[in-house]
């Protein structure tokens, strides 16, 4: 019960990582406010939570919506935890083809929303005088190429740097700021980014699980609960001396090139050894 008596705000809380994190925080004692554009999913989650989860429709590209969600939680007694998580795949075009409008839309959804979440939560936490914990969702796409489209990857890299800057700015108020970098996680974000719905979405998610099981050293797909566990750690007092950093939760995908963990994949060195022999 690490969050007994505490209140948390989770954006993108109606599904996927946000939903799993909201449920994790509730299991550990928190009262949670979730914001999402998915009104049906948000209300359903709140209605089955025995009053522990509250939903407010929130479009994180609208600063007024972000401020309203945070104010609602603060009015109930103050914000202890903020999880800036809402997002989607964004524009898929390469840098030589993307339109300025699609670029701006992706940055607004994935980067500006995080900045404004911090911007409007921090004064409320400061005024309360009890510190707080902020966790931002970044991605392994912030660390390497090939994991996501360009606009998404740049936004997630911005989230990482924003995390370190905000941690420095807010340290004097005992507000910790950290990030989590998910890898191949089986949520609907991939299918949604490709416009896949209905029965095809279920099939697509099954394909993602199969591919993910062979894409990193740990041979299973990651789950939303894997990310929720990392977020709960960073938001808890177990991480009281942790700020301005990131936790990569990717099954080892970013360890290195495939030959570094898969003995069946030849490396340049092993190929040269075989040639020399």
Q: How far apart are CA 62 and CA 41, in angstroms?
A: 20
Bridge partners of 192? none
Q: Are 32 and 20 in contact (CB under 8 A)?
A: no
**Spatial CA neighbour of 22 closest among 247, 189, 41:** 41
Q: Which residues are catalytic?
A: 152
Q: Can you give the C-alpha Rg of the chain in angstroms?
A: 19
CB-based contacts of 145, cutoff 8 Å, min separation 6: 153
Q: Are 80 and 3 in contact (CB under 8 A)?
A: yes
Residues in the chain: 277
Q: How far apart are CA 263 and CA 277, in angstroms?
A: 19
DSSP-assigned letters across all residues of 57-110? E--TTSHHHHHHHHHHHHHTT--SEEEE----------TTT--HHHHHHHHIII
Please, what is the end-to-end C-alpha distance for the chain in angstroms?
60
DSSP-assigned letters across all residues of 125-164? HHHHTS-EEEEEE--GGGTSSSSS-HHHHHHHHHHHHHHH
**DSSP conformational letter for 222:** B
């Amino acid at each position: 019960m690490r969050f007994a008596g505490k209140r948390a705000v989770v954006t993108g809380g109606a599904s996927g990582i946000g939903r799993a994190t909201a449920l994790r925080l509730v299991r550990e004692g928190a009262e949670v406010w979730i914001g999402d554009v998915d009104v049906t999913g948000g209300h359903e989650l709140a209605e089955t939570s025995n009053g522990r989860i509250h939903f407010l429709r929130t479009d994180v590209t609208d600063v007024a919506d972000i401020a309203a969600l945070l104010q609602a939680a603060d009015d109930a007694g103050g914000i202890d935890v903020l999880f800036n998580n809402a997002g989607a795949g964004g524009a898929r075009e390469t840098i030589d083809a993307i339109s300025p409008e699609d670029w701006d839309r992706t940055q607004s959804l994935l980067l500006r929303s995080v900045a404004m979440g911090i911007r409007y939560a921090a004064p409320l936490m400061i005024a309360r005088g009890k510190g707080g914990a902020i966790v931002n969702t970044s991605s392994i796409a912030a660390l390497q190429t090939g994991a996501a489209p360009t606009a998404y990857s740049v936004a997630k890299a911005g989230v990482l740097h924003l995390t370190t800057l905000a941690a420095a700015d807010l340290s004097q108020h005992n507000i910790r700021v950290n990030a989590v970098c998910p890898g191949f996680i089986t949520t609907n974000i991939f299918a949604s980014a490709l416009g896949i719905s209905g029965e095809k979405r279920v099939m697509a998610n099954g394909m993602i699980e199969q591919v993910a099981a062979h894409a990193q050293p740990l041979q299973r797909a990651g789950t939303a609960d894997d990310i929720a566990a990392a977020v709960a750690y960073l938001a808890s007092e177990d991480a009281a001396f942790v700020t301005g950093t990131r936790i990569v939760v990717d099954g080892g995908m970013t360890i290195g090139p495939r030959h570094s963990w898969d003995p069946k994949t030849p490396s340049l060195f092993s190929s040269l050894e075989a040639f020399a022999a």
